[in-house]
Amino acid sequence: MKEKRYRSIIKTISWRATGTIDTFIVSYIITGHVKVAISISSVEVFTKLILYYFHERIWNKIKIGKEHVAPEYQI
Cα distances from 64 to residues 42, 58, 67, in angstroms, run 34, 12, 9
Q: Is residue 67 part of a domain?
A: no
Residue 25 domain boundaries: 5-61
Q: Is residue 47 part of a domain?
A: yes
pLDDT in the model for residue 58:
92
**What's the rounded Cα separation, in Å, for the pair 34 and 13?**
23
Q: Is residue 73 part of a domain?
A: no
pLDDT in the model for residue 40:
94
Report pLDDT digits (tens) over 54-67: 988 898 888 888 77
Report pLDDT digits (tens) over 10-64: 888 888 899 999 999 999 999 999 999 999 999 988 888 888 889 888 988 888 8
Please state the domain count of the chain: 1
Could you tell me which residue, 6 or 35, shows the higher pLDDT? 35
